[in-house]
Amino acid sequence: METSNYFEFFSPVKINSGDQALSTLNYELEQLHVSRPLILTNQTLDELNILDLLLSSITKIEINPRQIIKTIPNQATLEIVKKASQRYRDLGCDGIIALGGEAIIDTAKGVNLIISEKVDDLSKLTGIETAHGDMQPFIVIPTTSGTGSEAALSAVISDQKSKNNLEFISSKLMPDLAVIDPKMTFTLPPRLTASTGVDALVHAVEAYTGLQTNPLSDAYAIAALKLIGKNLEPLVNDVNNKNYRVAMNNAALMAGIAFSNSHAGIIHAIGDACEKISEVSHGDALAVLLPHGMFYNLKFEYCRNSYQDILLALEDTEKFVNTKAEDRALMAVDSVVGILSELRFLAGIPVRLEEIGVKRSDFDRIVDKAMHNSALLNSAGQVKREDIKSILEAAF
C-alpha cells in the first residue's frame, strides 16, 4: 500500500474561542469591513434566544430585520441558497454570518460562492477548487460542536429537483472567522451532545489514519482525540459544564481542521451513504459504524501503528504502558467501544444500524453509494464492495 510523502495543509480561519468570544464580534466586523451582514439561521435558534445572544453582541452596526434569514432548512438546498443570495444582492450586503449547524454553514458557503463567483447556477461549480474569485467576508458561529464545518473546506448542497447532493470542495469556502462561544452550545441536550461528539471522534480517527495523514493534521487530530478522551463523557453527563463544553467545541474544531486537510475515510463514506439512502441521522450512523470501521482497518499494519497513538491519546499513559505493543491497536478499538458504551448508557446513542432504521434491503444501494464517495479513495487498502458489505452486516 502506498503512503504519502507529499502533503498540502491549509487552515486560514481565525478562531476566537471560549468565554466572551461573541463579544469580539464588533471588532472583527470592523476588521473585515463589514457594515451590513446577512445573517443566516433557523427558527429553532431564534426560539432558543440564541439569535438574540448574537444580535445583542453586535452593537456598533445596525441590523435590519431583512438582513436576517431564519428559514434555513435542515439540509442546505439550491433553492434556499438562491433565495438568500438574492436577498444579499437586494440589500447590498457586504458579509455573511452563519449562526447554526452544518446545514446553515453549508448554505452560507453556497451564498458566498454564488455572490463571489457571480453565477446564478451553483451546480456549475461542483467539484474541487472550482472557485477563483475574491470571496465575501464570512463569519461562522457554530451552535453544535461536532461537524467541524466552521473549519472545513467543503459544502454539500442538495438539488431537490434532480434529488442529487452537490459537493463543493474548495479552500475558498473556509470562513474568515469562527466564533466559538460556549454560550451558543449550552442548549444542546445530552443525546445530541453525544452524537456530535462522536462525529468529532470519527473525524479525528479517520484524519489520523487516512492515506493523506501528515504531521500538521496529525497534530490537530491527536490534540482533538486527547480532548475527546477526557471531556466527551463528562460533558454528556453534565451538559451545562462550561469547561467540558469549551473543550469539546475546541476538539470538534481541531478534528474538523484535521479531516479537512487529510480527508475522512471508510467510516465516513459508509455513514454518508446510510444517511443518503436510508435517511438516517449522520451522527447516529457514524456512532454505529465507528468501531466496525476501525476493526476492519486493523488488518493494515499502517493503521495498527496509528491506532497505538490513538490509544495513548484517548487513555492515560499507564494503560498504554501496561498494554503489550502488539495489543495496543486492538485496545484502541476497545477504548472507542468503551466511550460509545458509556454514551449509550448516558444518552442512549445507538449501537446497531437496524436500531436507527437502516434496512438490510438498503445494503446494495448503500454499498454503491459508499463506493463512490471520494472519502473512500483516502481509506487504507483498496476497499471493495465486499468489505463495505461485511462492515454493514457486522453493524446491523
- Residues in touch with another protein (CB under 8 A): 1-2, 4, 6-8, 126-130, 164, 166-167, 169, 210-212, 263, 368-369, 371-374, 376-378, 381-382
Using the minimum distance from each CB to another protein, give the nearer residue, 98 or 376: 376
Residue tagged 473546506 (cell numbers): 153
**Joined grid coordinates for residue 284:** 447516529
**Joined grid coordinates for residue 61:** 452596526
Using the minimum distance from each CB to another protein, give the nearer residue, 119 or 371: 371
Using the minimum distance from each CB to another protein, give the nearer residue, 18 or 127: 127
Contact 387, 233 (CB under 8 A): no
Using the minimum distance from each CB to another protein, give the nearer residue, 26 or 130: 130
Shortest CB 65 distance to another protein, Å? 38
3-state secondary structure 215-231: HHHHHHHHHHHHHHHHH
Shortest CB 24 distance to another protein, Å? 32
**Joined grid coordinates for residue 127:** 467539484
Q: Which residues on neighbouring strands pair with residue 38, listed in sequence order?
A: 96
Contact 147, 257 (CB under 8 A): no
Using the minimum distance from each CB to another protein, give the nearer residue, 21 or 376: 376
Shortest CB 279 distance to another protein, Å? 18
C-alpha pair distances (Å), 141 with each of 3, 51, 98 = 36, 11, 6
Using the minimum distance from each CB to another protein, give the nearer residue, 58 or 211: 211
Amino acid code (one letter) for 82: K
Using the minimum distance from each CB to another protein, give the nearer residue, 298 or 377: 377
Among residues 313, 158, 117, 351, which one has the least CA distance to residue 230? 313
Shortest CB 164 distance to another protein, Å? 7
Contact 362, 387 (CB under 8 A): no
Shortest CB 133 distance to another protein, Å? 15
Interior/surface letters 72-101, b for 16+ CB within 10 angstroms, e for the rest: beeebbbebbbbbbebbeeeebbbbbbbbb
Shortest CB 169 distance to another protein, Å? 7
Please give the Cα distance from 310 to 280 (Å, whole number).
Answer: 28
Amino acid code (one letter) for 380: A
Shortest CB 159 distance to another protein, Å? 11
Please give the Cα distance from 54 to 283 (Å, whole number).
Answer: 26
Using the minimum distance from each CB to another protein, give the nearer residue, 127 or 189: 127
Shortest CB 146 distance to another protein, Å? 23
Using the minimum distance from each CB to another protein, give the nearer residue, 58 or 371: 371
SS3 157: strand
Start-to-end Cα distance in the chain: 29
Please give the Cα distance from 123 to 83 (Å, whole number).
Answer: 15
Shortest CB 102 distance to another protein, Å? 18
49: left (phi over 0), alpha (psi -120 to 50) or beta: left
